[in-house]
């Protein structure tokens, strides 16, 4: 069940009331039940896979000891098996045994399987490293593994941070008015990002990437910007709703975004974008491969391997692998321009990220190359010809017609505040009741009037 549904709002409201009314263990049972219900909504297979992942990682967690190899290796293989089959089965089938599309096996990709599998792997790895003790209470571990605000698309929590909060659920539910207000604000912001911004930018980007052969270079250029905004507001909107839902229950989830488009390098970008996945690959892939302890060549190979695996984690396609390697290459080369003024580094980094998004969004390498080729041929013409000739009538209507200009302006405004540039104004608004409630009303009104109500699923649900 999606966050952007009446069913979720209703179920969350009921679970919030029950959380503060029920005693002790019943609270944990309630939250676990809600998580299983939300995840398995529409397919019993989702429930079976999640239950298998919970029981396997819990059981192996009891057997893994610091430094052990056999049980840890077996635990990793068992936990990765469903992910490998459902997410990479078709990819591996085509790689080892090329087949025609007509005879290909159809694999159902369970939502969020990459996220909860990686959370289980981090739990097992931290036990093996002696950083945490195994959880001995099955109810606590099950709730940690399937906590509904972050189950499907993160953030990927570490056991050392989330498990103590999960254990506290059984002891006492303390109502914190300020945490609830902050949680509701995050939920509203998440709905605004998804319904007003992300879904509106999708209407601009989808036609261009869906048929790049017909789209003009100028439209493709701005459609790339639109997708960059779409994927950020889509993903961070989900995270905001999840973190807000958890905050209302007195549980603090880690931040997953910190103004990523303000980054001055790709390294800085990955410290701001999908932070929990970035740190996961750093701690469990890059550092074990040698990290910064090796010479420059070994470090370079470790960087490229880590980014390639990160790309593959996003999707079973060579374009995702190429996207990861693209980031790895420019991550290694970024020192070349680091002596430039910060503002120019930010602009350059943003456009490198956008170039990477073309690979990420395109259906194939040939489509990505066609888009880049068209943009490259359009730029000189744009500089020496009137801008009105740069877009067809339909393209101009998609990018600038209707509510589009308002959406671009609202997106820049949200980025402006999230980057901290508007902190004084934000402090003024949120420290006074009247301006705050006016802002709430305007946000709800904008959702009602501007949102296309497209019902589009969150992008990262497919990962």
**pLDDT the model gives residue 173:** 67
- Provide the pLDDT confidence category of residue 113 given band limits of 50, 70 and 90: confident
3-state class of 367 per DSSP? Answer: helix
**pLDDT the model gives residue 103:** 45
**pLDDT the model gives residue 462:** 65
Q: Where are the domains of the chain?
A: 6-174, 179-264+338-462
- Residue with more model confidence, 187 or 426: 187
Q: How far is CA 180 from CA 248, 331, 401, in A?
A: 4, 40, 38
Q: How far is CA 142 from CA 31, 157, 172, 280, in A?
A: 10, 14, 19, 21
- Provide the pLDDT confidence category of residue 99 given band limits of 50, 70 and 90: very low
pTM, two decimals, is 0.88
Q: What is the DSSP string of 161-212?
A: HHHHHHHHHHH-----HHHHHHHHHHHHHHHHIIIIIIHHHHHHHHHHHH-T
Q: Which spans in 315-432 are helix H?
A: 318-333, 342-361, 365-384, 393-400, 404-418, 423-430
Mean pLDDT for the chain? 84
Is the bond into 169 cis (omega within 30 degrees of 0)? no
Segment 447-453 mean pLDDT: 78
Segment 257-263 mean pLDDT: 91
Name the range with the highest mean pLDDT among 22-26, 65-69, 101-105, 267-271. 267-271
Query: For the segment 311-369, what is each residue's pLDDT rounded down to a tens digit?
Result: 998 887 889 999 999 999 999 988 888 788 888 999 999 999 999 999 999 988 999 99
Segment 437-457 mean pLDDT: 76
3-state class of 277 per DSSP? Answer: helix
Residues involved in catalysis? 314
């Amino acid at each position: 069940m999606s966050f952007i549904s009446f069913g979720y709002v209703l179920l969350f409201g009921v679970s919030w009331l029950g959380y503060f009314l029920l005693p002790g263990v019943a609270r944990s049972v309630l939250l676990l039940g809600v998580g299983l219900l939300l995840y398995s909504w529409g397919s019993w297979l989702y429930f079976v896979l999640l239950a298998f992942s919970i029981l396997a990682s819990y059981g192996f967690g009891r057997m893994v000891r610091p430094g052990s190899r056999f049980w840890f290796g077996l635990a990793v293989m068992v936990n990765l098996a469903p992910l490998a089959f459902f997410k990479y089965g078709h990819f591996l089938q085509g790689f080892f045994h090329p087949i025609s599309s007509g005879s290909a096996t159809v694999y159902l990709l369970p939502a969020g399987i990459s996220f909860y599998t990686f959370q289980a792997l981090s739990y097992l790895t931290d036990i093996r490293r002696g950083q945490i003790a195994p959880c001995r209470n099955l109810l606590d571990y099950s709730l940690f593994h399937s906590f509904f605000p972050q189950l499907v698309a993160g953030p990927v929590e570490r056991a050392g941070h989330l498990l103590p909060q999960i254990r506290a659920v059984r002891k006492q539910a303390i109502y914190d008015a300020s945490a609830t207000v902050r949680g509701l604000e995050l939920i509203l912001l998440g709905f605004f990002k998804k319904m007003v911004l992300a879904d509106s930018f999708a209407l601009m980007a989808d036609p261009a990437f869906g048929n790049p052969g017909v789209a003009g270079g100028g439209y493709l250029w701005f459609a790339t910007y639109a997708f960059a905004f779409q994927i950020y507001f889509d993903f961070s909107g989900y995270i905001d709703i999840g973190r807000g839902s958890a905050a209302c229950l007195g549980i603090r989830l880690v931040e997953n975004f910190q103004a990523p488009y303000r980054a001055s390098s790709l390294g800085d970008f990955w410290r701001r974008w999908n932070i929990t996945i970035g740190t996961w690959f750093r701690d469990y892939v890059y550092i074990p491969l040698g990290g910064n302890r090796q010479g420059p060549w070994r470090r370079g190979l470790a960087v490229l391997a880590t980014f390639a695996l990160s790309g593959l984690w996003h999707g079973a396609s060579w374009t995702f692998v190429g996207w990861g390697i693209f980031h790895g290459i420019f991550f290694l080369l970024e020192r070349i321009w680091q002596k430039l003024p910060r503002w120019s580094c930010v602009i350059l980094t943003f456009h490198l990220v956008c170039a990477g998004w073309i690979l990420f969004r395109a259906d194939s390498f040939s489509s990505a190359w066609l888009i880049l080729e068209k943009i490259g041929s359009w730029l000189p013409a744009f500089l020496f010809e009137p801008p009105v000739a740069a877009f067809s009538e339909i393209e101009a209507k998609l990018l600038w017609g209707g509510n589009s200009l308002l959406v671009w302006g609202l997106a820049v405004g949200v980025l402006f505040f999230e980057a901290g540039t508007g902190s004084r104004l934000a402090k003024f608004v949120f420290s006074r009741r009247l301006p705050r409630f006016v802002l709430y009303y305007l946000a709800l009104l904008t959702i009602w009037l501007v949102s296309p109500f497209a019902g589009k699923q969150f992008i990262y649900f497919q990962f």
